[in-house]
Amino acid sequence: MGPEKAGKTSTGRRRTAVPWLLLGLWVAVLAAVGPFAAKLSDVQHDRAVDYLPSSADSTQVAKIEDRLPGGEATELVLVYHRDGGLRSADRDTAARQVAVITRANPLTAAPEAVPSPDGSTLMYAVASNAPGTDEKKRDAFVNDVRDVARGTDGMSVVVGGPGALATDAGEVYNSLGGPLLYTTVAVVAVLLILIYRSPLLWLVPLAVAGVADYLSMGVAYGLHQAFGTSVSGQSSGVMTILVFGAGTDYALLIISRYREELRRVERPYDAMKEALRGCGPAVLASSGTVAAGLLCLLAADLNSSRGMGPTGTVGVLCALLAMLTLLPAVLVLLGRRVFWPLVPAYGSEPKQRRSLFSAMGTSAGRRPLVVLASGAVLLGALALGALNLPGPLKQQDSFAHRPDSVAAMETLARAYPGRGTQPITVITPPGRAEATLASVRAHAGVASAERGRSGGGGWTEISVIARGAPQSAAETATIKALRADLGGSYVGGPSAQQIDLQDTDARDRLVVVPIVLVSVLLILVLLLRSLVAPLLLVTAVIAVWGAALGIGGLVFGPLLGFEGTDPGLGLLSFVFLVALGVDYGIFLMHRMREESRSGAEPAAAALTALRTTGGVIASAGLVLAATFAVLTNMGLLQLVELGFVISVGVLLDTFLVRTYLVTSASVALGRKVWWPGTLSREPDTEAAGKQEPVAVG
C-alpha cells in the first residue's frame, strides 16, 4: 500500500472513529450523572426565607426558631364562613373539627375561636412545631388539617395562613418540572419543523438539547452538594429554559454553517470541521458572554438571585458542550440525508432569493439617521410604560390561579377589616423577654402580643398581631417601627419577609447592574477589538430592557389585572436581556467584522452581515422568545412576568434593534464603529497608488 493510499485510509478511519468516540463519551457521561440528575428536585427549596440573604432580620428569626423547642412552627388559619351569618350548628361543626385536629396533631397551643364583628366568619389559629423545616412534613400537616376542615350545607371552610401559602406555592413549583419541560420541548419542536421543513433534522438538535438538560440537572445537583448553591423552583425552571433556548440557538448557527460547507466540501466530516472553524468562535464568545452575565448574579445578596447565577450558567455551558460535540457527531454519522428533502448536494449553489433581511438592510442603509432616530423615539416611548408597573407583589397575589390559602386571606380581609390576621414574630435575646414584650404591647400599631417559646441559647419568641391588615401600609409601618425600636431583637414572619425581599432586591440592583455592564463591555471589547461597537451593543440592549418593562407596565395591570410586580423582575430581566441580547449582537458584529477585514466598505459590510446572519438570528430569536414564553403559562406571577418581559425583549431585539437600529448605527458611523482598532482607519490607497513601478529585466 502506497503512502498516499495509507494516508487516505487513516483519514477515513478518523472520520468514522471520532464521531463514534464522542457518542460513546456522552453515553458514559450520562450514565455517570444519571443518579445525580434525579436528585435535583430533592434539594429544591421554595420557602420565602430560602430566598432571603442571611443578614435579613426575617432570616435570623427563622434560624433561631429552628433552635427553639419544637423548631420552626407551621402556622395555619382555619376560616369558617357563611354569607348572612354563621348558625349555631356551624359553630358546633367548627368546634368538633378543631377538636379532631387538636387530638391528631401536636399543636403549640389550644386554638381559640375568634368571631368576626358581623358574625359571618369564625377564625381559628392553628400552629404546630412538628414539621420543623421539613417541607414534606409541613405539606402533610397542612393536607391533614384540610382533610378534616370541610364545609357543610352552605358553610365554607378554607385553610390559610403562612403554612398553607407555603404549601400551595410548593405545589406550584413542584408541578413546574413536567409541564415546563413538555411544553418547552413541544414549542421548540414546532418551531424547528417550520424552520427546517424536514421530517428528521428537527429531531437532532431537540434530542441533543434534551441530553444537555439532563446533564445540567446532574451538574447543578453536584454544585449544590459541593458549594451549597441554593436551588429553587424558579432557578431550575429557568435553567431548563436556557438549555433549550440557548442550545437551540447554537444548533441553528452550527447547522446553518454546516449546510453551507456541505455544498463546498465533499465529506460531511470535513464539512463539519470547516463549519465549526467558521462559527465556533462566535458560539464560544456568545455563550461566554451569557455565562459571564449570569455569574454576575453571585454578587447579589438575595439567595434566589445568587443561586440562579450558577444554575443558569450550568445550563448555558452544558448546552454549549452538547452542541459543539454531540450535535456535530450525530450530524456527521447521519450524513447528508438528515437534511432530506432539501439535501445540500456537493458542488450545488443555493437558490438566490431576495430575503426579508436584505430588504430591511437596504431600507436601513438608505436613511440610517432617520431610522435610528425613529427607533430611539419608539423605544423611549415604550419605556415610559414602566412607570405604570403595579406596586410590589403581595404574597397572596402571586398565584395565577387562586388556591384555598389565598381565598382564606381574602375572606379574612373582608370579615375583619383593618385587623391583622397574620402573626409577626419577634425574637428577643436572653434576659430581655419581659421588657421587649411590654415595649411591643405599648406600640400603637400592635393589637396584641403574647410570649411564646424560650430556649435555643436563651432567645424568646413573641407572637404579635398588628392592627393593620397583612402587607398593608399600616402593618409595614408597624414592622419597620418595631425593628427601629427593639434594638438587639429580630422581627420576622411572612410580612417581614416580603419587606426584606423588596429591600434586598433594591440593594442588588445597585450592585449587580454595574457589574453586569462592565463585565459584558470588557468581553465585547476583547472580542471586537473596539470601544464604539461594544458601547453600541450594550446601549441597544439597555434600550430593549427598558422598552420590554414598559410594555409590561402597559399589559400587567390594565389588561391582565395583575395586582403587583415581583420585586426581582427588574434585576433578573436586565441580566437575561443584556446577556442574551449581546449574544445576538455578537453573531451580527462578528460577521460584520469579517466582511470589513475582507476589504468591504463599512456600509456594505453591515448590510452583508445582516443579509447573511439575519435569518439565523431571527430563527434563534423566535426559539428563545418562545421558550421563555412557556413561563407565562406557569402558576406563579413571578414566572409569568419574567417570561413575558424576556420574551418581548428578545423579539424587540431580534426584529427591531438588531436588524434596523444596530445596522443603521453601523452604517452611519462607518469605520468609526471599530474605533480605536485598525479597522477604524481608512486604507492608505493614495500611498499605494504612488508606489514606484518595479523594473522587470
**Helix residue ranges, H only, 48-161:** 48-51, 57-67, 88-104, 135-148
Of 44, 77, 43, 49, nearest to 64 by C-alpha is 49
Confidence of residue 199 (pLDDT cuts 50, 70, 90): confident
Q: What is the pLDDT of residue 687?
A: 39
Torsion of CA 466, 471, 474, 480, to 10 degrees: 80
Q: What is the pLDDT of residue 397?
A: 79
Share of the chain above pLDDT 70, in %: 91
CB-CB contact of 299 with 512 (8 Å): yes
Q: What is the pLDDT of residue 330?
A: 94
Average the pLDDT over 458-469 and give the result.
Answer: 87
In sequence order, the β-bridge partners of residue 466 are 446
Confidence of residue 692 (pLDDT cuts 50, 70, 90): very low
Amino acid (one-letter) located at 250:
Y
Average the pLDDT over 435-453 and give the result.
Answer: 89
Q: What is the pLDDT of residue 7?
A: 47
The span from the CA of 75 to the CA of 424, in Å, is: 11
Mean pLDDT (the chain) is 85
Cell of 25: 463519551
Domains and CATH numbers, the chain: 14-43+198-352 (1.20.1640.10), 73-168 (3.30.70.1440), 355-404+496-680 (1.20.1640.10)
Taking only the tens place, the pLDDT of each residue in 261-317 is 998 888 999 999 999 988 888 888 888 888 998 999 999 988 888 888 999 999 999
pTM for the model: 0.84
Q: Is the pLDDT of residue 661 over 50?
A: yes
What Cα–Cα distance (Å) separates residue 392 from each residue in 395, 506, 562?
10, 12, 11
Confidence of residue 548 (pLDDT cuts 50, 70, 90): very high
Confidence of residue 694 (pLDDT cuts 50, 70, 90): very low
Q: Is the pLDDT of residue 226 over 80?
A: yes
Confidence of residue 667 (pLDDT cuts 50, 70, 90): confident
What Cα–Cα distance (Å) separates residue 58 from each residue in 32, 175, 409?
40, 27, 21
Q: What is the pLDDT of residue 112?
A: 87
The span from the CA of 96 to the CA of 298, in Å, is: 52
Q: 548: burial class by Cβ within 10 Å (0-12, 13-18, 19+)?
A: buried
CB atoms within 10 A of CB 295: 18
Q: What is the pLDDT of residue 12?
A: 58
Q: What is the pLDDT of residue 347?
A: 78
Q: What is the pLDDT of residue 675?
A: 87
Q: Is the pLDDT of residue 336 over 50?
A: yes
Q: Is the pLDDT of residue 357 over 70?
A: no
Confidence of residue 86 (pLDDT cuts 50, 70, 90): very high
Taking only the tens place, the pLDDT of each residue in 61-71 is 888 887 877 77
Q: Which residue has the cell 414598559?
A: 550
Calculate Rg over the CA atoms of the chain: 30
The span from the CA of 115 to the CA of 413, in Å, is: 13
Average the pLDDT over 420-443 and give the result.
Answer: 88
Strands 424-428 vs 490-492: parallel, antiparallel or unpaired: antiparallel
Q: Is the pLDDT of residue 620 over 80?
A: yes
